[in-house]
A and B are shown apart, each in its own frame.
Chain A
Amino acid sequence: AQRVTQPEKLLSVFKGAPVELKCNYSYSGSPELFWYVQYSRQRLQLLLRHISRESIKGFTADLNKGETSFHLKKPFAQEEDSAMYYCALDPSNTGKLIFGQGTTLQVKP
């Protein structure tokens, strides 16, 4: 079955510390993967897509097909990074996204 797993409901770090939000997926084909972020009282926003290999707001994510993972990383967390982060899989590039349960990132001063 196609599935996205984010094992941590809450990740709490201090400002300036490195951050890694974990995402594992289950899909037999070539995955399209995304990271979405939702800041307090704002709509869900696209943060990263794996195919672009870009860095947004200092975040990067590398697709590891061997480990079926797409972890989101940032070397130095900022307080404004505090938000809910969702990993999402688009099987077969259909637009029918499968979301993980989300991880709340809390960056403490």
Chain B
Amino acid sequence: SAVISQKPSRDICQRGTSLTIQCQVDSQVTMMFWYRQQPGQSLTLIATANQGSEATYESGFVIDKFPISRPNLTFSTLTVSNMSPEDSSIYLCSVEIGTGYGYTFGSGTRLTVV
């Protein structure tokens, strides 16, 4: 099954700045998913990233705020732009384990905006 390396594991950032989160998978995958987990909340899907095409964003999330890159089949980045304290969350990437086997998650990036 796929193994995901995500970094950084945590960061403290100043408001108004941007942070890029990286997600590396040890095998080629078609789709990669980015989630957000706000404090005390469950996981919410931000967007789906396919290699070679624009990411697809869920309602409430926009490309200007969360630009995503997917340069190849094993790597993706999520940028949190122009951060405010409300962006303080855990951000996670996810990929399919194998067709029909479910989805695995990275260890997450704990972001604190001050």
Give the docked Cα–Cα distance between A80 and B105 (Å): 21
Cβ–Cβ contact A86 & B103, under 8 A = no
The verdict on B102 contacting chain A, using a C-beta distance below 8 Å, is yes
Question: Is A101 in the interface zone, CB < 8 Å from B?
Answer: yes
Chain A residues with CB under 8 Å of B102's CB are 34, 46, 49
* CB-defined contacts of A102 to chain B, threshold 8 Å: 42
* Chain A hits for B94, CB < 8 A: 95, 97
A90 and B100 CA atoms in complex are apart in Å by 11
Q: Are B42 and A97 in contact (CB under 8 A)?
A: no
Task: Report how far A100 CA is from B42 CA in the complex, Å.
Answer: 7
CA distance A34 to B105 in the complex (A): 13
Within 8 A of B (CB), among A83-104: 86, 90, 94-102
Q: A95 touching B33 by the CB < 8 A rule? A: yes
A43–B33 contact, CB under 8 A? no
Question: A46 and B108: CB pair below 8 A?
Answer: no
Q: How extensive is the interface on chain A, given as a class?
A: 10 to 19
Residue of B nearest to A36 (CB): B105
Selected contact of A43 from candidates B31, B44, B108, CB within 8 Å: B108
Check A96–B33 contact: CB distance below 8 A.
yes
A46–B104 touching, CB < 8 Å:
yes
Give the CA-CA distance A101 to B37 in the complex, in Å: 10
**Are B108 and A97 interface neighbours, CB within 8 A?**
no
CA distance A36 to B43 in the complex (A): 11
Give the B-binding residues of A (Cβ under 8 A).
Answer: 34, 36, 43-46, 49, 51, 86, 90, 94-102
Given contacts A43-B105, A99-B44, 11 further A-B contacts (CB under 8 A): A43-B106, A43-B107, A44-B105, A45-B105, A95-B96, A96-B33, A96-B58, A97-B43, A97-B45, A100-B42, A102-B42
26 examples of A-B residue contacts, CB within 8 angstroms: A34-B103, A36-B105, A43-B107, A44-B43, A44-B105, A44-B108, A45-B105, A46-B102, A49-B101, A49-B102, A86-B42, A86-B43, A90-B103, A95-B31, A95-B94, A95-B103, A96-B33, A97-B33, A97-B43, A97-B94, A98-B45, A99-B42, A99-B43, A101-B41, A101-B42, A102-B42
